[in-house]
Amino acid sequence: MRFYQYLPNNTVLCLLSPTASGKTDLACQLYQTGRFELISVDSALIYQDMNIGTAKPSHYELECYPHHLVNIINPTQNYSVANFVQDVKILIDKIHQNGKIPLLVGGTMLYFMALFDGLSAVPDSCPNIRKQVFEWQEAKGIADLYTYLQKYDPNICQKLKITDTQRITRAVEVLIQTGKNMSFWQKTPKQALSANKTQFWLGLSVEPDRSWLHERIAVRLGLMWQAGLVDEVVNLLIKYPDLTPQMPSMRCVGYRQVLEFLALSNHFVMQQTDVWLDFSDNIKKNYHNLTNNAKKPIKHQQKTDDLACQEMKNKALYATRQLAKRQATWQRQLFKLNTVAHIPTITNTHQELFLQKSPVMVRFNNIKEVENYLLSPCR
């Protein structure tokens, strides 16, 4: 028998790995065994019509290896961490009822952190309340909100400076929305799905060599440019005229850099709405300030476009590598939260591992190690 066959029926298996590390291929192999259903843990794959820049599995691959939580909203919609946790909770129960093991696979470590460490009890913001507080701040200033907080939440005020606009307005929002102050919500214990005593949570965390990963990222981005990432972003702006630069979908790595390139190259799609015209003007202003301060200012539009294109690619590469670095930092934090097990030998792997207190986290150097760990015969 192979190790995956020894997994208890109540297992929740998590494959945590940074971008471009090869986790999707292994997830598909595991799906083929018939023991697993796949749940995507990726905050970019949730969006419809965002395929190239997210490295989304192809339509054919998704038909052969179905992934839950892929293509569930359009790019103008919001999907919070709390939404994700609630959906995963429902899916885990359904998958177990079907006699399968849920395999959570992805690289959005904030999602994994919510599963293993729990969510803050503070409720999601309400758009209407947020608008109300914003108008209050605009009319009377942040000092008036701070005075209000001092009356109803003096403890939180001890932690905030009057210049901390974002946290003050958020605390006021919560108070108005719930009738209870932020101090109350912060004292409420977190509840993590992985703390469910009826389930065995096993995390397989892959932390590959950084130089190897950087090379993989560069190759993947090269393929994205060839596949038409710029055209994909243009088509998104045409199909979804309500998109704005502030939306989470438009802040995804790669997409943001393409938007800046479209602004600098005076692409017609940037002239569709006042929102994108303002965005373009700001990008151009910043860019021209930089080039004017250079030793050899750029004068010709063609050279500007060429430089903007190369800068887009350089920025996307840098941003993706920084993303991988942040993912590694989150992974190290996750190890501090859980029972850490060393990679057991194949001969006694299941007996040793399943005696550990759930959740258990095991560290690997690459995807191939995980493949051998799960799919090699146990002697």
Q: What is the DSSP string of 17-41?
A: --TTSSHHHHHHHHHHTTSEEEEEE
Measured in whole angstroms, how far is the alpha carbon of residue 174 from the centre of its chain? 25
Residue 294 above 80 pLDDT? no
pLDDT one-digit tens code per residue, 328-341: 998 988 888 766 66
Could you tell me which residues are beta bridge partners of residue 363?
Answer: 205
The token pair that represents 291 in the structure block: 């080039």
pLDDT of residue 304: 59
Give the separation between CA 169 and CA 129, rounded to whole angstroms: 10
* Cis, bond preceding 359 (omega within 30 deg of 0): yes
Could you tell me which residues are beta bridge partners of residue 119?
Answer: 191
C-alpha distances in angstroms, 347 versus 184, 341, 353, 366, 379? 50, 16, 12, 21, 5
Mean pLDDT, rounded, of the chain? 90
Give the separation between CA 3 and CA 161, rounded to whole angstroms: 54
CA-wise closest residue to 221 among 85, 86, 334, 317: 317
pLDDT of residue 352: 61
pLDDT of residue 355: 62
pLDDT one-digit tens code per residue, 123-158: 877 888 988 998 999 899 999 999 999 999 999 999
pLDDT of residue 347: 45
Q: Of the ranges 95-104, 195-204, 284-293, which one carries the lowest mean pLDDT score?
A: 284-293
Q: What is the DSSP string of 123-169?
A: PPPPHHHHHHHHHHHHHH-HHHHHHHHHHH-HHHHTT--TT-HHHHH
CA-wise closest residue to 199 among 308, 88, 310: 88
What residue has token string 């995807």?
367
> Identity (one letter) of the amino acid at 117?
D
What residue has token string 């990726």?
42
Q: What are phi and psi of 200, to 5 degrees?
A: -110, 105
For the sheet with 339-341, list strands across it: 67-68, 36-41, 101-106, 11-16, 200-206, 360-364, 339-341
pLDDT band at 345 (very low <50, low <70, confident <90, very high): very low
What residue has token string 């194949």?
346
Give the separation between CA 93 and CA 87, rounded to whole angstroms: 10
Give the separation between CA 154 and CA 96, rounded to whole angstroms: 46
Domains of the chain and CATH, by start? 3-119+196-209+328-375 (3.40.50.300), 127-187 (1.10.20.140), 213-319 (no CATH)
Assess contact for 98 and 37: CB atoms under 8 A: yes
Helix (H, G, I), strand (E, B) or coil at 191: strand
Measured in whole angstroms, how far is the alpha carbon of residue 54 from the centre of its chain? 11
Give the separation between CA 362 and CA 205, rounded to whole angstroms: 6
Assess contact for 96 and 9: CB atoms under 8 A: yes
pLDDT of residue 144: 95
pTM for the full model? Answer: 0.82
Residue 6 above 70 pLDDT? yes
Assess contact for 319 and 218: CB atoms under 8 A: no
pLDDT band at 66 (very low <50, low <70, confident <90, very high): very high
Assess contact for 236 and 50: CB atoms under 8 A: yes
Helix (H, G, I), strand (E, B) or coil at 340: strand
pLDDT of residue 339: 66
